[in-house]
Structure 1
Amino acid sequence: MLDETLKTQLSAYLEKLVQPIELVSSLDDGDKSKELGELLDQIASLSDLITHVRRDDDARRPSFAIGRTGSDVQVRFAGIPMGHEFTSLVLALLQVGGHPPRVEPDVIEQIRALDGDYLFETYFSLSCQNCPDTVQALNVMSVINPRIRHVAIDGALFQAEVNAREVMSVPTVFLNGQPFDSGRMSVEQIVARLDTGAAARAAEQIRAKDAFDVLVVGGGPAGSAAAIYAARKGIRTGVAAERFGGQVLDTLSIENFISVNHTEGPKLANALENHVRDYDVDIMNLQRATKLIPASEPGGLVEVELENGASLKSRAVVLSTGARWRQMNVPGENEYRNKGVAYCPHCDGPLFKGKRVAVIGGGNSGVEAAIDLAGIVAHVTLIEFDSKLRADEVLQRKLRSLPNVDIITSACTTQVLGDGQRVTGLSYRDRGDDSQHELQLEGIFVQIGLLPNTEWLKGTVALSPRGEIVIDERGQTSVPGVFAAGDCTTVPYKQIVIAMGAGSTAALSAFDYLIRTSSPAKQDDALAA
C-alpha cells in the first residue's frame, strides 16, 4: 500500500508519537480488507509505539480503530483512508499518540466542557477535497473529549449504508444516528453548533474590542493579502471572516498560481491563514457581516454589524467577501440540495456511480465536470442555456468524444423534479421552439458561475448591475474609507493571483487614506512606525 517514499515520510512523522497506540482492525475475506490489513501492518512496522491486532469486533468491514493504549481515546475509520484522507490518517495517528493538535486553547476548553455523549459518523469520498477538514475536525474533538466518538466512513465501500441513509453529497455527518450537517466544517463551526452559548460569548468579546485602524471583512486570498499588508504597516488590523480561506477551500486543483506548479485549495487556504497569523492580526472567524454603516464625518469610524448582534468599528475597511456558486433559482433546487442537486463534481461524483446525471452549464467548469463524471456515472447530459458551448475547444472535443454524454443547447432549466426524498429528473424549455421536455435523472450538478457576496451592502456602496462592488484602480469604493478587493468587486478577472494583488492594493490605499485623515484608533504614533 505504501511506497518507499511514503514510508520514509510517515516514519519521520511517527517519531513525534509520545504514547503507545493500538490499531484494531475488523476485516473479512474481501480484497479491500486484505489491502487494509497490509496497510496497518506497514504502519505498525514503522514505530515501536504502534501495534496492530485483528479483532473483528466491528460490523463495518473493512474498518479499524486507532486507540491510545490504556485510555478511552479512540478514532475509527471504515474503509482505507488514502487519497485526500491520508493526511487525516496521519494526523489521527499523531494525535491519538499524544502529539498536541493545532487547535486554539479556548476551543480546546470548549470541547472538553461539552456535556453529553456524541457519536458522529461522517461519510466521505476519497476524491473529495472538502471531506478531510470535517473528518480531521471530528477526530480532534474525539481525541480531546473521549465522550465524543467519531467514525469516518468511505461511502464508496459502504454503498448500502449510503443508499439507506440517502447520502447524496459528501461530507455528510450524522450525530447519534440523526442527520447533523453536510459540507466542509471546521472544529470551531462544529463546536459552535454543540455549544449553544458560544455565539453569545463571541458577540460579547467582539463588543469589547477597541476600534481598528484597518478592518478586513473576508478571509480569502484578497482578504489575507490585505490583512498582511496592513499589519506590516504596524497599525491595528482585524479580520472578520465567515470562513477563513473563502471559496479557495472548495477548489480542487490550482495550477496557475505563479511560482507554484500545483497545489490544492485547502492547502493554500491553510498557508494563507498561517501567514496572516505570523502578524499581529486579530482574526475573528465564523463572523458574518450584515450591515455597513459609513462614518458620520470625514476620518470617522466605519461600523460593520455582524449576524450575532455585535459590531466592529474601524477607521478604514477593506471588503473582500468573495463569491459563491450561482444557483439556477428554479423550483425544487433548494428542496433537493444535497439530495441529488450538487455543486462539486469532484466531491460528490463517486456517490452517483452507475447513475444518470445532468450538468448545468457549458463553460469550462461545466464541460470539465461532465468529462470527469462520464468516467464514473452511467450517463451525463450537459445542458447549456446558450446556443453553443462556451468552453475551450480542446475541452469540447474531449467531451464530444465520450460515448455516454449527450449535449443539449438552447435549453432553459425550469424545475428540479423529485419524489420528496431525492432528485428524479429535471424539466427544461427548448428556447428555439418553446417546447417543454423532461429528463429522468438521479443527480444534477450546477456549474453556472459565481455570485458576489454583496447583498448586505445594497444601498450603502455602489454596486454594478451584477451586484459587484464598484471600485477604482486603487480599490476605493463610493464610500470614503471603505475599500474592496477580489471576486466581490468589478475587477474583470476572478483569479486567485489577481485577488491577492487587489487585496494588497486595497490595504495600501487604506493606509494612504489613514495617513491623510485623523489619528489612529489605538495609538497616535502607530503610523510613524
Structure 2
Amino acid sequence: MLDPALTKQLAQHLELLRQPVELVASLDDSAKSAQLMELLTEVAALSEKITVVRRDDDERRPSFAIVRPGTDISVRFACVPLGHELTSFVLALLQVGGHPPAVSEEVIEQIRRLDGDYEFVTYLSLSCQNCPEVVQALNLMSVVNPRIKHVAVDGALFKDEVEARGVLAVPSVFLNGEHFEQGRMTLEQILSKLDSGAAQRAAQEIGNKEPFDVLVVGAGPAGVSSAIYAARKSVRTGVAAGRIGGQVLDTMAIENFISVPYTEGPKFAAALEQHASDYEIDIMDSQQAVRLEPATQPGDLHTLVLENDATLKGRTVILATGARWRPIGVPGEQEYRNKGVTYCPHCDGPLFRGKPVAVIGGGNSGVEAAIDLAGIVSHVTLLELGDTLRADEVLQRKLRSLTNVDIVLNAKTTEVLGDGTSVTGLTYTDTETGESRRLDVQGVFVQIGLLPNTEWLEGVVELTKHKEIVVDERGATSVPGVFAAGDCTTEPYKQIVTAMGSGATAALSAFDYLVRTSAPTDD
C-alpha cells in the first residue's frame, strides 16, 4: 500500500521508537479490514520494535489500537489511516513508542494534572485537512495521561454511528458520550475547555508582557509575513492570533504559490510556523482580539484587548485578521450549520455519500466544490445568482461534462429547510420570473466568497461598505501607527502571494513609522 519513497521515509521516522509497540487489530471479513491489515503489516515490517496481533475485541471493525505493552497507554483508530491521517498514525506510533512529543513541558504537565476520566471520540473524514490537528492533539493527551482515552473514527466507514449521532460535519468530537466541540481545535484550545484555570493563567501571563514595537493581529500568510519582516529589523515583535495559518488551514490544494508547484493548506501553515520560529517572535495563539484602543497621539502606545480580558501594548499595530467563509444570510442557515449546511466540501463531502446536495456559488470555489462532490454524492445542483457562471472556462467545461450535476442560473437562495435535526432542502427564487421553487437536498455547501474579520474594528479604523480595512499603498490605515495587510483589507486580489506581499509592506511601513516617531527633534 505504501510506495517506495513513502516506505523509506517512514522507516527513517520509526528509527525514533524507543520502546516496543503492538498494533492490535479488530477486523471482520470486509475489504476495508483486509486493507487495514495490509497497511499494519507493511508498517510493522519497517521496525523490529513493532508487532501486529489480531484480537477482534473492539466493537468497531475495522479498527486497531497502538499499545505500549505492559502499560495502559494506547491510542485507537477506527479507520484506515491514510490521506491526511497518515501523519496522525505515524505520530501516534512514535509517541506510544516513547518518542517525546513536540510540545513544551508546561503543556505536558497541564495534561498530566487533568483530574477525571475522559473518553473522546473524534469523527473525521480522510479528506479533511482540519481533522488531523484535533486527532493528533487528543492522541497526544491520551499518551501523556492514561486516564484520557481517544478513538478516531472515519465517518464514511461507520455511517450508522455517524447518522445515529447526527454528525454532518467534521471534525466532531464527543466526550464521555456527549458532544464536546466541532471544527478545528488546537491542543491549547482543548486544554482550556477542560482546565478551567488555563484561560486565567494565560491571560495573566499575556497581561504581564512588555509593550511590543510591532504587534501583529493574525497569523495567516499576511500576519506571519509581517512578523518575520518586523523581526528581521530587530524590533520587539509579537503576534496575537486565533490559529497560525488562518484561512490557509482550510485550503485543500495550493498550486499558484510561485516556486512551489503544489502543496496543501496545513503543510503551508506548518511551514509558516516553522519559518516564524526561526526569529525572536512572541507568538500568542488561541487568542481572539475584541477591541483596539488606538494611541491618542503619535508615539503613544496602542492597546489591544483580547477575549480573555488580557491586554497587549504596541507602539505600532498591524491588522492581518484575514477573512472567513461568507454566509448566504437566509433563514435556516445558522440553525442547520453543521447539520447539513457546510462550507468545506473536502472536509464534509464524504459524510454525504450517496445523497443529493446543493452548492451555492458559481465562482471557482463553487464549481470546484461541485466537481469534487459529484464523485461522492448522488446528485449535485449548483445554484448561481447571476445569469452566467463566473468560474474559469476549464472548470466550467469539466462541470458540464458530469452527468449527475445540474446548473441553475438566476437562482437566489431564500431559505434552508430542515426537520429540526438536519437539512431537508432549500427554497430559491428565479430572479427572471419571480417564481419560488423548492429543491430537496440533504446538504448545502456554501461557496460565495469571504467576509473580512473586521467587525470588532467598526468605528476604530476606516472600513468600506464591504467591511474591508481601507489602506494606502504603504498598508497604512486611517489611524497613525496602525497598518493592515491581507484579505481583511482593500487589497483587490485575495491570494496567498499578495497577502504575503502586503504583510511585508505593512511591516516595513511600521518600521519606518517607528524610526520617524522616535527620531530626536531639533531644539
Give the equivalent residue in structure 1 for 2:156: 156
Q: Which amino acid in 1 is paired with 2:382?
A: L
Higher mean C-alpha deviation, range 393-402 or range 12-21: 393-402
Distance 1:354 1:17 in 2: 42
Aligned pair 1:75/2:48, yes or no? no
TM-score (ref. length: structure 1): 0.97
**Aligned amino acid, residue 6 of structure 1:** L
2:215 corresponds in structure 1 to: 215
Check if 1:17 corresponds to 2:42.
no
**Counterpart position of 2:173:** 173
Match of 1:498 in 2: 498
Partner amino acid, structure 2, of 1:176: N
The one-letter amino acid paired with 1:382 is: L
Aligned to 1:465: 465
Aligned equivalents of 1:519, 1:304: Cα separation in 2: 25
SS in structure 2 opposite 1:517? helix
Q: For structure 2, which runs of at least 5 residues remain unmatched after alignment?
A: none
Matches within 5 A, 1:346-357: 346-357=346-357
Q: Secondary structure of 1:397's match?
A: helix
Who is 2:54 aligned against? 54
What CA distance in whole angstroms lies between the structure 1 residues aligned with 2:175 and 2:254? Answer: 34
> TM-score normalized by structure 2?
0.98
- What secondary structure is seen at the aligned counterpart in 1 of 2:517? coil
Kindly report which structure 2 residues correspond to 1:441-456, keeping only aligned pairs within 5 A, or say none. Answer: 441-456=441-456
Partner residue, 1:526 = none
RMSD: 1.1
Alignment gaps of 5+ in structure 1: 521-529
Deviates more, 1:450-459 or 1:395-404: 395-404
2:410 — aligned with what?
410
Range 154-163 or range 440-449, more displaced: 154-163
Partner of 1:269, secondary structure, is helix
Alpha-carbon distance in 1 for matches of 2:208, 2:113? 24
Distance in 2, Cα, partners of 1:145 & 1:223: 35
Q: Which amino acid aligns with 1:507?
A: A
CA offset digits 1:85-127 (Å, max 9, x no partner): 1111111111111111111222212111111111111111111
CA distance in 1: counterparts of 2:484 and 2:252, whole angstroms: 26
AA in 1 matched with 2:414:
T
Which amino acid counterpart does residue 339 of structure 2 have in structure 1? K
Quote the Cα distance in structure 1 between the aligned partners of 2:221 and 2:151.
33
TM-superposed CA distance for 1:37, in Å, is: 1.4
Residue equivalent to 1:401: 401
Runs of 4+ in 1 over 3 A off after TM superposition: none
Letter in 1 for 2:476: Q
- Map Cα deviations across residues 470-517 of structure 1 (whole Å, 9 max, x no partner): 111110111000000000000110110111111111001000000111
Distance 1:151 1:212 in 2: 42
How far is the alpha carbon of 1:402 from its aligned partner?
A: 1.3
What is the deviation of 1:397? Answer: 1.6
| 1:345-387 alpha-carbon deviations (Å, 9 max, x no partner) | 1111111111010000011110111111111111111011111
Quick one: distance in 2 between partners of 1:225 and 1:25? Answer: 45
Query: 1:527 is matched with which residue?
Result: none
Rounded Cα–Cα distance in structure 2 between residues aligned with 1:2 and 1:267: 20
* Identity percentage of aligned residues: 69
Alignment partner of 1:112 is 2:112: yes
Amino acid at match of 1:275: H
Aligned residues: 520
| 1:6-49 Cα distance to aligned partner (Å, 9 max, x none) | 22111111100011111111111122111211221221111111
Q: How many angstroms apart in 2 are the aligned matches of 1:122 and 1:21?
A: 23
Q: For residue 196 of structure 1, report the CA deviation from its aligned partner.
A: 1.4
- Cα deviation for residue 132 of structure 1 reads 1.0
What corresponds to 1:131 in structure 2?
131
Report 1:278-293 matches (<5 A): 278-293=278-293
1:87 lines up with 2:77 in the alignment: no
Looking at structure 2, the residues matched to 402 and 30 of structure 1 have their Cα atoms a distance apart, in angstroms, of: 31
Q: One-letter code of the match for 1:146?
A: P
Q: CA deviation digits over 1:218-262, x for unaligned, max 9?
A: 000000011111111111110000111100000000011111111
CA distance in 2, matches of 1:4, 1:394: 34
Q: CA deviation at 1:518?
A: 2.8
- Quickly say closer, same or farther: Cα 1:54–1:234, change in 2 above 3 A: same
For 1:446 and 1:35, the matched residues in 2 are separated by 34
SS in 2 for 1:149: strand
Question: Residue 147 of structure 1: CA displacement?
Answer: 0.8
The alignment partner of 1:487 has SS state of: helix
- Map residues 137-148 of structure 1 onto 2, 5 A cutoff: 137-148=137-148
